[in-house]
Structure 1
Protein backbone atom coordinates (compact mmCIF):
# COMPACT_ATOMS: atom_id res chain seq x y z
CA UNK A 1 0.00 0.00 0.00
CA UNK A 2 1.28 3.40 -0.89
CA UNK A 3 2.14 5.32 2.28
CA UNK A 4 0.46 8.39 0.80
CA UNK A 5 -2.93 6.68 0.52
CA UNK A 6 -5.78 8.15 2.55
CA UNK A 7 -7.51 6.43 5.41
CA UNK A 8 -11.31 6.09 5.52
CA UNK A 9 -11.83 9.30 7.52
CA UNK A 10 -9.69 11.29 5.09
CA UNK A 11 -11.53 9.82 2.10
CA UNK A 12 -14.88 10.76 3.65
CA UNK A 13 -13.61 14.29 4.28
CA UNK A 14 -12.40 14.47 0.71
CA UNK A 15 -15.83 13.41 -0.60
CA UNK A 16 -17.36 16.30 1.36
CA UNK A 17 -14.74 18.67 -0.10
CA UNK A 18 -15.60 17.47 -3.61
CA UNK A 19 -19.29 18.15 -3.04
CA UNK A 20 -18.49 21.61 -1.64
CA UNK A 21 -16.23 22.37 -4.61
CA UNK A 22 -18.93 21.31 -7.05
CA UNK A 23 -21.47 23.53 -5.29
CA UNK A 24 -19.02 26.46 -5.37
CA UNK A 25 -18.84 25.94 -9.14
CA UNK A 26 -22.64 26.03 -9.45
CA UNK A 27 -23.13 22.28 -9.70
CA UNK A 28 -25.11 19.78 -7.64
CA UNK A 29 -23.28 16.49 -7.06
CA UNK A 30 -24.65 13.20 -5.81
CA UNK A 31 -22.87 11.97 -2.63
CA UNK A 32 -22.33 8.61 -4.30
CA UNK A 33 -20.53 10.27 -7.21
CA UNK A 34 -18.36 12.24 -4.79
CA UNK A 35 -17.53 9.05 -2.89
CA UNK A 36 -16.40 7.33 -6.11
CA UNK A 37 -14.22 10.31 -7.02
CA UNK A 38 -12.73 10.34 -3.52
CA UNK A 39 -11.96 6.62 -3.78
CA UNK A 40 -10.21 7.14 -7.14
CA UNK A 41 -8.15 9.99 -5.67
CA UNK A 42 -7.33 8.19 -2.42
CA UNK A 43 -3.92 7.03 -3.70
CA UNK A 44 -2.66 10.62 -3.68
CA UNK A 45 -1.66 12.78 -0.68
CA UNK A 46 -4.57 14.71 0.83
CA UNK A 47 -2.91 18.17 0.56
CA UNK A 48 -2.21 17.59 -3.15
CA UNK A 49 -5.83 16.64 -3.88
CA UNK A 50 -7.20 19.58 -1.91
CA UNK A 51 -4.88 21.94 -3.78
CA UNK A 52 -6.14 20.46 -7.06
CA UNK A 53 -9.76 21.06 -6.00
CA UNK A 54 -8.91 24.66 -5.15
CA UNK A 55 -7.28 25.12 -8.55
CA UNK A 56 -10.41 23.72 -10.22
CA UNK A 57 -12.56 26.30 -8.44
CA UNK A 58 -10.47 29.11 -9.94
CA UNK A 59 -9.60 27.66 -13.33
CA UNK A 60 -12.34 25.34 -14.59
CA UNK A 61 -15.24 26.77 -16.54
CA UNK A 62 -18.11 24.35 -16.33
CA UNK A 63 -18.71 21.24 -14.27
CA UNK A 64 -16.27 19.60 -11.89
CA UNK A 65 -15.16 16.34 -13.51
CA UNK A 66 -12.61 13.74 -12.52
CA UNK A 67 -10.30 14.49 -15.45
CA UNK A 68 -9.83 18.12 -14.37
CA UNK A 69 -8.99 17.17 -10.79
CA UNK A 70 -6.67 14.33 -11.80
CA UNK A 71 -4.80 16.51 -14.28
CA UNK A 72 -3.96 19.01 -11.55
CA UNK A 73 -3.04 16.28 -9.08
CA UNK A 74 -0.63 14.65 -11.51
CA UNK A 75 1.08 17.84 -12.68
CA UNK A 76 2.06 18.56 -9.07
CA UNK A 77 4.35 15.52 -8.97
CA UNK A 78 7.47 17.58 -9.69
CA UNK A 79 8.12 16.33 -13.22
CA UNK A 80 9.14 19.21 -15.51
CA UNK A 81 7.12 20.17 -18.58
CA UNK A 82 8.25 19.02 -22.01
CA UNK A 83 10.14 22.23 -22.86
CA UNK A 84 12.07 22.31 -19.59
CA UNK A 85 12.77 18.59 -19.92
CA UNK A 86 14.23 19.13 -23.40
CA UNK A 87 16.44 21.95 -22.11
CA UNK A 88 17.70 19.69 -19.31
CA UNK A 89 18.39 16.91 -21.81
CA UNK A 90 20.40 19.25 -24.05
CA UNK A 91 22.54 20.33 -21.11
CA UNK A 92 23.90 16.79 -20.95
CA UNK A 93 25.65 17.43 -24.31
CA UNK A 94 28.24 19.47 -22.44
CA UNK A 95 30.59 17.00 -20.76
CA UNK A 96 31.63 19.66 -18.25
CA UNK A 97 28.06 20.20 -16.99
CA UNK A 98 26.60 18.27 -14.08
CA UNK A 99 22.99 17.48 -14.95
CA UNK A 100 20.15 16.60 -12.57
CA UNK A 101 17.51 14.74 -14.56
CA UNK A 102 14.57 12.37 -14.16
CA UNK A 103 14.24 8.79 -15.34
CA UNK A 104 11.78 9.92 -18.02
CA UNK A 105 14.17 12.57 -19.36
CA UNK A 106 16.98 10.04 -19.61
CA UNK A 107 14.80 7.46 -21.36
CA UNK A 108 13.36 10.03 -23.78
CA UNK A 109 16.85 11.31 -24.58
CA UNK A 110 17.98 7.78 -25.40
CA UNK A 111 15.00 7.44 -27.75
CA UNK A 112 15.87 10.71 -29.51
CA UNK A 113 19.64 10.11 -29.61
CA UNK A 114 19.80 8.49 -33.10
CA UNK A 115 18.00 11.50 -34.62
CA UNK A 116 20.18 13.92 -32.65
CA UNK A 117 23.36 12.13 -33.72
CA UNK A 118 22.22 12.47 -37.33
CA UNK A 119 22.28 16.25 -36.89
CA UNK A 120 18.50 16.81 -36.99
CA UNK A 121 17.93 18.82 -33.81
CA UNK A 122 14.33 19.71 -34.73
CA UNK A 123 13.46 16.08 -35.39
CA UNK A 124 15.28 15.04 -32.22
CA UNK A 125 13.23 17.49 -30.19
CA UNK A 126 10.00 16.11 -31.63
CA UNK A 127 11.10 12.53 -30.93
CA UNK A 128 12.15 13.47 -27.40
CA UNK A 129 8.89 15.24 -26.56
CA UNK A 130 6.79 12.39 -27.96
CA UNK A 131 8.69 9.81 -25.90
CA UNK A 132 8.79 12.04 -22.82
CA UNK A 133 5.05 12.71 -22.77
CA UNK A 134 4.34 9.01 -23.22
CA UNK A 135 6.73 8.02 -20.41
CA UNK A 136 5.41 10.69 -18.04
CA UNK A 137 1.82 9.70 -18.81
CA UNK A 138 2.59 6.06 -18.03
CA UNK A 139 4.43 6.95 -14.82
CA UNK A 140 1.52 9.07 -13.64
CA UNK A 141 -0.98 6.38 -14.53
CA UNK A 142 1.07 3.96 -12.43
CA UNK A 143 1.25 6.59 -9.62
CA UNK A 144 5.04 6.40 -9.77
CA UNK A 145 6.92 9.09 -7.87
CA UNK A 146 9.41 11.24 -9.74
CA UNK A 147 13.03 10.12 -9.40
CA UNK A 148 15.74 12.76 -9.88
CA UNK A 149 19.36 11.62 -10.19
CA UNK A 150 22.69 13.26 -10.95
CA UNK A 151 24.89 12.84 -14.01
CA UNK A 152 28.31 14.15 -13.00
CA UNK A 153 30.24 16.51 -15.29
CA UNK A 154 33.96 17.29 -15.30
CA UNK A 155 33.78 20.87 -14.00
CA UNK A 156 33.89 20.76 -10.18
CA UNK A 157 32.41 24.25 -9.78
CA UNK A 158 29.47 23.39 -12.01
CA UNK A 159 28.89 20.24 -9.98
CA UNK A 160 28.44 22.32 -6.84
CA UNK A 161 26.17 24.80 -8.63
CA UNK A 162 23.97 22.10 -10.19
CA UNK A 163 23.55 20.11 -6.99
CA UNK A 164 22.94 23.23 -4.90
CA UNK A 165 20.27 24.39 -7.34
CA UNK A 166 18.64 20.94 -7.31
CA UNK A 167 18.47 21.06 -3.50
CA UNK A 168 17.01 24.57 -3.57
CA UNK A 169 14.35 23.45 -6.08
CA UNK A 170 13.62 20.43 -3.83
CA UNK A 171 14.44 18.02 -6.63
CA UNK A 172 16.86 16.15 -4.40
CA UNK A 173 16.77 16.19 -0.57
CA UNK A 174 19.36 18.24 1.26
CA UNK A 175 20.94 15.17 2.85
CA UNK A 176 21.39 13.57 -0.58
CA UNK A 177 22.89 16.80 -1.88
CA UNK A 178 25.40 16.78 0.96
CA UNK A 179 26.29 13.18 0.21
CA UNK A 180 26.83 13.96 -3.48
CA UNK A 181 29.18 16.80 -2.64
CA UNK A 182 30.97 14.76 0.01
CA UNK A 183 31.51 11.92 -2.48
CA UNK A 184 32.86 14.37 -5.05
CA UNK A 185 35.33 16.02 -2.68
CA UNK A 186 38.80 14.54 -2.27
CA UNK A 187 38.66 14.38 1.53
CA UNK A 188 35.11 15.02 2.73
CA UNK A 189 35.89 14.55 6.43
CA UNK A 190 38.44 17.33 6.40
CA UNK A 191 37.91 21.07 6.59
CA UNK A 192 38.29 21.14 2.81
CA UNK A 193 35.39 18.73 2.41
CA UNK A 194 33.28 20.76 4.80
CA UNK A 195 34.14 23.89 2.82
CA UNK A 196 32.54 22.30 -0.24
CA UNK A 197 29.49 20.97 1.60
CA UNK A 198 29.06 24.35 3.34
CA UNK A 199 27.89 25.77 0.02
CA UNK A 200 24.65 23.86 0.59
CA UNK A 201 24.36 23.92 4.36
CA UNK A 202 25.38 27.54 4.83
CA UNK A 203 27.91 26.60 7.49
CA UNK A 204 31.15 28.57 7.80
CA UNK A 205 34.27 26.69 6.69
CA UNK A 206 37.61 27.71 5.23
CA UNK A 207 39.79 25.69 2.83
CA UNK A 208 43.23 24.68 4.01
CA UNK A 209 46.43 26.20 2.56
CA UNK A 210 46.93 22.93 0.68
CA UNK A 211 43.54 23.23 -0.99
CA UNK A 212 44.23 26.87 -1.84
CA UNK A 213 47.47 25.73 -3.52
CA UNK A 214 45.52 23.18 -5.53
CA UNK A 215 43.00 25.81 -6.61
CA UNK A 216 45.86 28.09 -7.62
CA UNK A 217 47.34 25.23 -9.64
CA UNK A 218 44.02 24.73 -11.41
CA UNK A 219 43.91 28.43 -12.22
CA UNK A 220 47.46 28.30 -13.61
CA UNK A 221 46.51 25.28 -15.67
CA UNK A 222 43.54 27.13 -17.15
CA UNK A 223 45.79 30.06 -18.04
CA UNK A 224 48.23 27.67 -19.69
CA UNK A 225 45.41 26.17 -21.75
CA UNK A 226 44.53 29.59 -23.06
CA UNK A 227 48.10 30.01 -24.27
CA UNK A 228 48.26 26.57 -25.86
CA UNK A 229 49.05 26.28 -29.54
CA UNK A 230 46.37 25.67 -32.15
CA UNK A 231 47.52 22.08 -32.46
CA UNK A 232 47.19 21.44 -28.73
CA UNK A 233 43.74 23.00 -28.70
CA UNK A 234 42.69 20.70 -31.53
CA UNK A 235 43.90 17.70 -29.55
CA UNK A 236 41.99 18.93 -26.51
CA UNK A 237 38.80 19.29 -28.53
CA UNK A 238 39.21 15.74 -29.84
CA UNK A 239 39.71 14.49 -26.30
CA UNK A 240 36.63 16.40 -25.12
CA UNK A 241 34.57 14.95 -27.99
CA UNK A 242 35.66 11.44 -27.02
CA UNK A 243 34.77 12.09 -23.40
CA UNK A 244 31.34 13.38 -24.47
CA UNK A 245 30.79 10.23 -26.52
CA UNK A 246 31.67 8.13 -23.48
CA UNK A 247 29.22 10.12 -21.36
CA UNK A 248 26.43 9.70 -23.91
CA UNK A 249 27.13 5.97 -24.03
CA UNK A 250 26.87 5.82 -20.22
CA UNK A 251 23.54 7.67 -20.27
CA UNK A 252 22.28 5.28 -22.94
CA UNK A 253 23.29 2.24 -20.89
CA UNK A 254 21.58 3.69 -17.83
CA UNK A 255 18.44 4.33 -19.89
CA UNK A 256 18.44 0.73 -21.13
CA UNK A 257 18.74 -0.48 -17.54
CA UNK A 258 15.78 1.72 -16.53
CA UNK A 259 13.70 0.33 -19.40
CA UNK A 260 14.61 -3.22 -18.40
CA UNK A 261 13.59 -2.56 -14.78
CA UNK A 262 10.32 -0.96 -15.90
CA UNK A 263 9.52 -3.92 -18.13
CA UNK A 264 10.23 -6.34 -15.27
CA UNK A 265 7.80 -4.58 -12.90
Structure 2
Protein backbone atom coordinates (compact mmCIF):
# COMPACT_ATOMS: atom_id res chain seq x y z
CA UNK A 1 0.00 0.00 0.00
CA UNK A 2 2.82 2.43 0.88
CA UNK A 3 4.55 1.76 -2.44
CA UNK A 4 1.34 2.41 -4.36
CA UNK A 5 0.74 5.72 -2.58
CA UNK A 6 4.31 6.80 -3.20
CA UNK A 7 4.08 5.88 -6.88
CA UNK A 8 0.86 7.92 -7.16
CA UNK A 9 2.52 10.88 -5.45
CA UNK A 10 5.50 10.65 -7.80
CA UNK A 11 3.26 10.58 -10.86
CA UNK A 12 1.16 13.56 -9.75
CA UNK A 13 4.12 15.65 -8.62
CA UNK A 14 6.07 14.84 -11.79
CA UNK A 15 3.14 15.97 -13.92
CA UNK A 16 2.68 19.20 -11.97
CA UNK A 17 6.39 20.05 -12.19
CA UNK A 18 6.72 19.16 -15.86
CA UNK A 19 9.03 16.23 -15.11
CA UNK A 20 9.20 13.20 -17.38
CA UNK A 21 10.13 9.99 -15.56
CA UNK A 22 10.29 6.48 -16.98
CA UNK A 23 8.52 3.65 -15.18
CA UNK A 24 11.88 2.28 -14.10
CA UNK A 25 12.97 5.65 -12.69
CA UNK A 26 9.72 5.99 -10.75
CA UNK A 27 10.09 2.46 -9.36
CA UNK A 28 13.65 3.12 -8.17
CA UNK A 29 12.61 6.45 -6.64
CA UNK A 30 9.72 4.79 -4.81
CA UNK A 31 11.98 2.01 -3.53
CA UNK A 32 14.41 4.56 -2.07
CA UNK A 33 11.56 6.44 -0.38
CA UNK A 34 10.15 3.32 1.29
CA UNK A 35 12.90 3.68 3.91
CA UNK A 36 11.06 6.70 5.35
CA UNK A 37 7.69 7.01 7.17
CA UNK A 38 4.90 7.30 4.61
CA UNK A 39 3.27 10.36 6.18
CA UNK A 40 6.54 12.30 6.08
CA UNK A 41 7.17 11.25 2.46
CA UNK A 42 3.74 12.45 1.38
CA UNK A 43 4.27 15.78 3.16
CA UNK A 44 7.57 16.11 1.27
CA UNK A 45 5.71 15.63 -2.02
CA UNK A 46 3.24 18.33 -1.01
CA UNK A 47 6.14 20.69 -0.39
CA UNK A 48 7.67 19.78 -3.74
CA UNK A 49 4.41 20.64 -5.50
CA UNK A 50 4.33 24.02 -3.77
CA UNK A 51 8.01 24.91 -3.81
CA UNK A 52 9.77 23.33 -6.80
CA UNK A 53 10.49 25.60 -9.71
CA UNK A 54 12.50 22.98 -11.59
CA UNK A 55 12.27 19.27 -12.25
CA UNK A 56 11.33 16.70 -9.61
CA UNK A 57 14.37 14.83 -8.35
CA UNK A 58 15.00 12.35 -5.56
CA UNK A 59 17.31 14.88 -3.89
CA UNK A 60 14.54 17.50 -3.87
CA UNK A 61 12.19 15.05 -2.16
CA UNK A 62 14.76 13.91 0.42
CA UNK A 63 15.58 17.51 1.32
CA UNK A 64 11.93 17.99 2.31
CA UNK A 65 11.50 14.85 4.40
CA UNK A 66 11.39 15.66 8.10
CA UNK A 67 13.56 12.82 9.31
CA UNK A 68 15.14 14.49 12.31
CA UNK A 69 18.08 16.14 10.58
CA UNK A 70 18.62 19.80 11.45
CA UNK A 71 18.60 22.33 8.66
CA UNK A 72 21.97 23.88 7.85
CA UNK A 73 20.89 27.11 9.55
CA UNK A 74 19.79 25.32 12.73
CA UNK A 75 22.97 23.27 12.88
CA UNK A 76 25.24 26.27 12.26
CA UNK A 77 23.47 28.45 14.85
CA UNK A 78 23.85 25.70 17.46
CA UNK A 79 27.57 25.46 16.76
CA UNK A 80 27.98 29.23 16.87
CA UNK A 81 26.35 29.28 20.31
CA UNK A 82 29.03 26.90 21.54
CA UNK A 83 31.86 28.74 19.79
CA UNK A 84 30.82 32.05 21.28
CA UNK A 85 30.27 30.75 24.80
CA UNK A 86 32.32 27.78 25.97
CA UNK A 87 30.32 27.54 29.20
CA UNK A 88 27.22 26.19 27.45
CA UNK A 89 26.58 22.69 26.14
CA UNK A 90 24.93 22.09 22.78
CA UNK A 91 23.18 19.18 21.13
CA UNK A 92 24.65 18.69 17.67
CA UNK A 93 25.67 15.91 15.29
CA UNK A 94 28.99 14.45 14.23
CA UNK A 95 27.98 15.40 10.68
CA UNK A 96 27.69 19.06 11.67
CA UNK A 97 31.07 18.93 13.37
CA UNK A 98 32.63 17.49 10.21
CA UNK A 99 31.03 20.19 8.09
CA UNK A 100 32.31 22.81 10.52
CA UNK A 101 35.90 22.02 9.59
CA UNK A 102 35.41 24.09 6.46
CA UNK A 103 34.02 27.02 8.43
CA UNK A 104 35.95 27.41 11.69
CA UNK A 105 38.91 29.30 10.19
CA UNK A 106 36.58 31.84 8.56
CA UNK A 107 34.55 32.19 11.77
CA UNK A 108 37.68 32.69 13.89
CA UNK A 109 38.79 35.36 11.42
CA UNK A 110 35.55 37.24 12.08
CA UNK A 111 33.80 36.39 8.82
CA UNK A 112 30.62 34.77 10.14
CA UNK A 113 28.74 35.15 6.84
CA UNK A 114 31.29 33.28 4.73
CA UNK A 115 31.72 30.72 7.52
CA UNK A 116 27.99 30.08 7.40
CA UNK A 117 28.01 29.68 3.63
CA UNK A 118 30.97 27.29 3.74
CA UNK A 119 29.28 25.27 6.44
CA UNK A 120 25.98 25.18 4.56
CA UNK A 121 27.62 23.83 1.40
CA UNK A 122 29.50 21.08 3.22
CA UNK A 123 26.68 20.19 5.60
CA UNK A 124 23.94 19.92 2.98
CA UNK A 125 26.15 17.71 0.81
CA UNK A 126 26.93 15.38 3.72
CA UNK A 127 23.33 15.23 4.94
CA UNK A 128 22.03 14.62 1.43
CA UNK A 129 24.40 11.66 1.07
CA UNK A 130 23.34 10.21 4.42
CA UNK A 131 19.65 10.75 3.71
CA UNK A 132 20.04 8.89 0.42
CA UNK A 133 21.36 5.93 2.43
CA UNK A 134 18.51 6.19 4.96
CA UNK A 135 20.88 7.17 7.77
CA UNK A 136 19.60 8.90 10.92
CA UNK A 137 21.18 11.93 12.63
CA UNK A 138 24.29 11.04 14.63
CA UNK A 139 23.53 13.16 17.72
CA UNK A 140 25.93 13.90 20.52
CA UNK A 141 26.34 16.51 23.24
CA UNK A 142 29.25 18.92 23.12
CA UNK A 143 29.73 19.64 26.82
CA UNK A 144 30.46 23.08 28.24
CA UNK A 145 31.68 23.99 31.71
CA UNK A 146 28.24 24.96 33.08
CA UNK A 147 27.22 21.67 34.71
CA UNK A 148 23.66 22.79 35.45
CA UNK A 149 23.02 23.77 31.83
CA UNK A 150 24.72 20.55 30.65
CA UNK A 151 22.35 18.50 32.79
CA UNK A 152 19.36 20.29 31.26
CA UNK A 153 20.58 19.70 27.69
CA UNK A 154 21.36 16.03 28.35
CA UNK A 155 18.03 15.33 30.01
CA UNK A 156 16.07 17.03 27.23
CA UNK A 157 18.05 15.17 24.56
CA UNK A 158 17.37 11.85 26.27
CA UNK A 159 13.69 12.70 26.75
CA UNK A 160 13.33 13.47 23.03
CA UNK A 161 15.11 10.27 22.03
CA UNK A 162 18.09 12.02 20.45
CA UNK A 163 20.61 10.22 22.66
CA UNK A 164 20.50 6.91 24.50
CA UNK A 165 20.08 6.59 28.24
CA UNK A 166 23.49 4.96 28.61
CA UNK A 167 25.20 7.79 26.73
CA UNK A 168 23.30 10.41 28.77
CA UNK A 169 24.48 8.82 32.04
CA UNK A 170 28.13 9.04 30.97
CA UNK A 171 27.73 12.81 30.74
CA UNK A 172 26.09 13.43 34.11
CA UNK A 173 27.47 13.45 37.63
CA UNK A 174 25.19 12.63 40.56
CA UNK A 175 22.20 14.92 40.08
CA UNK A 176 18.42 14.98 39.94
CA UNK A 177 18.66 14.78 36.15
CA UNK A 178 20.78 11.64 36.41
CA UNK A 179 18.27 10.09 38.83
CA UNK A 180 15.43 10.99 36.46
CA UNK A 181 17.17 9.28 33.55
CA UNK A 182 18.13 6.20 35.57
CA UNK A 183 14.57 5.77 36.82
CA UNK A 184 12.97 6.64 33.49
CA UNK A 185 11.31 9.70 35.04
CA UNK A 186 11.62 11.92 31.97
CA UNK A 187 8.41 13.88 32.28
CA UNK A 188 8.32 17.52 31.21
CA UNK A 189 7.35 20.25 33.68
CA UNK A 190 3.98 20.53 31.92
CA UNK A 191 3.39 16.79 32.26
CA UNK A 192 4.32 16.91 35.95
CA UNK A 193 1.94 19.85 36.53
CA UNK A 194 -0.87 18.03 34.75
CA UNK A 195 -0.22 14.95 36.87
CA UNK A 196 -0.33 16.99 40.07
CA UNK A 197 -3.61 18.61 39.00
CA UNK A 198 -5.10 15.21 38.21
CA UNK A 199 -3.97 13.83 41.57
CA UNK A 200 -5.38 16.89 43.36
CA UNK A 201 -8.75 16.47 41.66
CA UNK A 202 -8.80 12.80 42.61
CA UNK A 203 -8.03 13.60 46.25
CA UNK A 204 -10.79 16.25 46.33
CA UNK A 205 -13.24 13.76 44.82
CA UNK A 206 -12.38 11.13 47.42
CA UNK A 207 -12.66 13.69 50.24
CA UNK A 208 -16.05 14.81 48.94
CA UNK A 209 -17.35 11.23 48.83
CA UNK A 210 -16.07 10.57 52.32
CA UNK A 211 -17.82 13.69 53.62
CA UNK A 212 -21.13 12.54 52.11
CA UNK A 213 -20.93 9.01 53.52
Q: TM-score, normalised by structure 1?
A: 0.53
C-alpha distance after superposition, 1:52-75 (max 9, x if no partner): 234345x15789x532x6424333
Give the alignment partner of residue 46 of structure 1, picking from 30, 38, 47.
38
* Residue-pair matches, total: 186
Q: What TM-score do the two structures reach when normalised by structure 2? A: 0.64
* Residue pairs, 1:232-247, within 5 angstroms: none
8 Å contact from structure 1 (residues 100, 150) kept in 2:
yes
Report if aligned partners of 1:15, 1:38 keep a CA contact under 8 Å in 2.
Answer: yes
2:74 aligns with one of 84, 90, 93: 84
Is the CA contact (8 Å cut-off) linking 2:14 and 2:21 kept in structure 1? no
Deviation per residue, 1:9-67 (Å, 9 max, x gap): 642443245446668x599x99937545424534434333222234345x15789x532
Provide the aligned C-alpha RMSD in A. Answer: 4.0
Residue in 2 that maps onto 1:245:
none
In the alignment, structure 1 segments of 5+ residues that lack a partner are: 1-8, 205-265
Q: Is 1:131 matched up with 2:122?
A: yes
Moved more, 193-202 or 100-109: 193-202
C-alpha contact (below 8 Å) 2:62/2:132 kept by paired residues: no
**1:19–1:31 Cα contact (<8 Å) kept:** no
* Distance (whole Å) between structure 1 residues aligned to residue 53 and residue 104 of structure 2: 42
71-80 vs 144-153, which deviates more?
71-80
Q: 1:97 aligns to what?
A: 88
Would you say 1:155 and 2:153 are equivalent positions? Answer: no
Per the alignment, residue 60 of structure 2 pairs with 71
Of 175, 186, 193, 1:201 maps to 186
